[in-house]
Every structure is written in structure tokens, then in C-alpha cells.
Amino acid sequence: MKKYKITIIKNGKIINSKHRFESDAKAIEYVQQKNLNVVLIQVYDNKSYREIKDLNINTKDSIFEKPKKHLFDSFKTTRNLSFYFHQIALLLDSFIPLDEAIKHVQKITKPPLSAKFQNVLNSLSLGAGVAESFDNFGLSMLHNSVLYIGEQSGKLQESFEIIAKDLSESEVVKKRILKVLFYPTIVFLSIMIAFSIAVLMIIPEFASFFAQNATKLPFITRSLLGLESFLRHFGLIISFAFLINIFMHFWFYKNFLCYKLFIDKLILKLPIIGKIILFNRLSYFLHSLYFLQISGSDLKNSLQIAKKTLDNTYLSLQISRSQESLSDGFSFSKSLGVSSIFDELTLGLLSGGETSGNLDKMLFVTSKRYKELCNEGLDKLMLYIEPIFSLALAILVLYLALGIFLPIWNLQSLGLT
């Protein structure tokens, strides 16, 4: 009998339980019989727990599974995808068969994208469905679902147009985020590198000069000399320890769900940045629901698919609570209210849309609202970051200058007297 650890979601909480089964198949059979909302199944192997992968577990959802790459994973790939998918939609609108439309678009692409389109064509020629053929294309789960729904409803042209529009809007958001973060990051790294070089290379030259003069050094100069000595003796050790700490953080984040949940929740509580991340993910989540609703998906299925687009474990857990409420018979807006991540205005708009039969429109409106809040947060962050880094640069330059020149001024004053 092997030892197994099963992680489930129940009443919005993560619960771990240990069992003994004869094989992986028996563990999966137990999960299916109990109809558990499984997050993870692990087996004790070689003195540690190993996740059971690549098994068709019939579970309601999972917040621990690794989602497929989505829009923000590779800007270089998605940069042209919106254009190509728009071209496919135009060709389909002209009553050109899908395989012919893809062939036309493939002619204007370059590797590796052309190879991906060729794989799609090969899969279609073998009789696979459209969504299945694009399964390894690198699209998000949301976009694959839109293709599947479009294929089932006979609205492939609309599906490709929806995906093209979403890719285009995501490219704009990605560019904006990179624009906001690129300059402060370069400035911060430049400041730290320049300051470290100055301390390690300039201060020792002045230290020998100060040692030749029997003068009591100012506190700032002594602190600079101490910093130089500390960096020279322990700089490599600190750098190595920092890298080890980062490696351990990512290892724990990848392998321990509780730690991952703690970090994801902590990130959302960061000043300004946390709000930006929250608004961005909620905008994308509601936008996903909107796309799935106008594509013809039912609400429960849409909620489950859209939840998988969230790359934050805490947010996924909150949406799991909403799924449970929706399954218990609560309305959609009240179910989202259980999650405690949506504000009252959003819930009110969704409730009104649900009552009037315009839920898809309200999903679009609330998604756009969170997108505007995200943009406002980015503007606010940019407004604060530039003066903060400028102030930090001024303080470091002043600290270095005073540490060097104060003893020289003292020597000059002694010489004059």
C-alpha cells in the first residue's frame, strides 16, 4: 500500500488529507467516487511526495495546475498573432475554407510561427477539430475554448475575430506595463551598480590619503570606509546568499501550495502595485467571461474556464468559492460577492445585468472599468516612481560626495589656521 496526499477545496478552504491505496488508479477512483473538488494528488515516493501528472482526473477544477501560456507569457509571439488571426477571420468571412485561409496566412508568416500553422494544417488534414488542432499553438485556455465553442456553434469567423481583438488589446496593455517598469528598473540598477563601483574603487584611494593625515574623520566618511570594507569582505557571500534565497523562494513557490497561496495573497496587499495587479487580473477575468458568454458558453462552464486564466492562487481560490455558491443555486452576482474580491459597484452592475438579461454587456462594462482603474494605478505608480528614484539618486550622490570632501575641507581649514 502506498501513501497518498490529496489536496481539495471545500467551503473555500484548502484541506489536505492522507490515505493509503494500492495504486495511482485506486487513488483516482476514490476521488471520482467522492466527487471531490481536487487541487492536487501526490504519492509518497523516494522519501518525498511526488505529484501524479498526466492522469485524466475528473475533477471540478484545480487552482494548482499549471495553465497554458497565455497572452502575457510571450510578447514576442503575440505581437503578430492578432494581425494573423484577424486575417483568418476576414478570409472566413469571404467564405474561404479554414484550411485554405490558414494556408494563405502561413505564406506571410516566418518561423517559428509558420511551423505552428503547418502543424495546425496537418492536424486538420487528419480529421482533428479546430480547437484540438490549435491546442499546441500556444494560445490561452480561454482562446482554445472560444475556438471550441465557435466550432460547435458554427461561428468560427466570429471566434477568430474575438481572439484577434483580445490579442490586440492585450498587446497594448503589455506595452504600457513594460513602459512603466522599464525606466525605473534601469535607473535603479544603474544607481546600485554605480554606487557599488564608487565605494569599492574610489573610497580605498581616499582611505590611504586620509591615513597619512592625522585627522579625525567625519562620521559619514567612516561609515563609507566601513561600507567599503564590508562589501569587499562579504559582498560575494551576500550576493551568493541572495541568489540562493531567490532559488529557494521559487522552489517553495512551485512545490508548496500553502506558500504559493501566502505569497500570492501578500502580493495583492502591496501598496499601489497590489491594486494594479488585482485590477489587471479582474479585468482579464471579466473580459474572459464576456468572451465566453458572447461565444455561447453556459455560465458555469464560462466561470470555470475564466478562472483558469487567473495566475494568482488566492484569486483562484476566491473564484472557487463563487463556483460553490453558484452550484448551490445562488445568482451569479451573489456568487461573485462571496469571493470578497469584487467591489460593490461591480456586483451592482452585474446584478442589474443579470436581472435585465444583459449580463454579457455588464461583464464588458465592468471589465473595462477595472482596466481603467489599472491604467490609473499605472499612472499613479509612474508619478511616484520617478521622484522616488530621483530622490534616492540625489541621496546616494550627496552621501558619497560628503564622505569624500568633508575630510578634505577639514584639512584645508587646518592648513589655513
pLDDT digits (tens, 9 = 90+) for 247-276: 999 999 888 888 888 999 999 998 888 998
Is the pLDDT at 290 greater than 80? The verdict is yes
**4-8, 64-68, 233-237: least confident range:** 64-68
Residues 128 and 206 in one domain: no
Total domains, the chain? 3
Is residue 89 a contact partner of residue 160, using CB atoms and an 8 Å limit? yes
Q: Is residue 144 part of a domain?
A: yes
Q: Domain of residue 23: give its range.
A: 2-51
**130-144, 168-182, 240-254, 323-337: least confident range:** 168-182
Q: Is residue 70 part of a domain?
A: no
Residues 166 and 220 in one domain: no
3-state secondary structure the chain: CEEEEEEEEECCEEEEEEEEECCHHHHHHHHHHHCCCEEEEEEEECCEEEECCCCCCCCCCCCCCCCCCCCCCCHHHHHHHHHHHHHHHHHHHCCCCHHHHHHHHHCCCCCCHHHHHHHHHHHHHCCCCHHHHCCCCCCCHHHHHHHHHHHHHCCHHHHHHHHHHHHHHHHHHHHHHHHHHHHHHHHHHHHHHHHHHHHHHCHHHHHHHHHCCCCCCCHHHHHHHHHHHHHHHHHHHHHHHHHHHHHHHHHHHHHCHHHHHHHHHHHHCCCCHHHHHHHHHHHHHHHHHHHHHHCCCCHHHHHHHHHCCCCCHHHHHHHHHHHHHHHCCCCHHHHHHHCCCCCHHHHHHHHHHHHHCCHHHHHHHHHHHHHHHHHHHHHHHHHHHHHHHHHHHHHHHHHHHHHHHHHHHHHHHHHHC
The band of 71, judged by pLDDT with boundaries at 50, 70 and 90, is very low
Residues 82 and 41 in one domain: no
Q: Is residue 38 part of a domain?
A: yes
Residues 334 and 238 in one domain: yes
Residues 80 and 47 in one domain: no
Q: Is residue 209 part of a domain?
A: yes
Kindly report the average pLDDT of the chain as a whole number: 79
| Residue 36: per-residue pLDDT | 66
Residues 303 and 378 in one domain: yes
| Residue 190: per-residue pLDDT | 81
Is residue 149 a contact partner of residue 134, using CB atoms and an 8 Å limit? no
Residues 165 and 309 in one domain: no
Q: Is residue 160 part of a domain?
A: yes
Q: What is the pLDDT of residues 138-177, one digit of tens each?
A: 887 778 877 887 787 777 888 888 888 878 877 777 777 7
Residues 141 and 84 in one domain: yes
Residues 364 and 290 in one domain: yes
Q: Which three cell numbers stand for residue 232?
A: 569587499
Residues 132 and 241 in one domain: no
Residues 82 and 47 in one domain: no
State which of 128, 154, 171 marks the end of a domain: 171
Residues 47 and 87 in one domain: no
CATH of the domain at 387: 1.20.81.30
Q: Is residue 191 part of a domain?
A: no
Whole-model pTM?
0.65
Q: Is residue 69 part of a domain?
A: no
Q: What is the pLDDT of residues 351-375, one digit of tens each?
A: 999 899 888 899 999 999 998 998 8
Q: Is residue 126 part of a domain?
A: yes
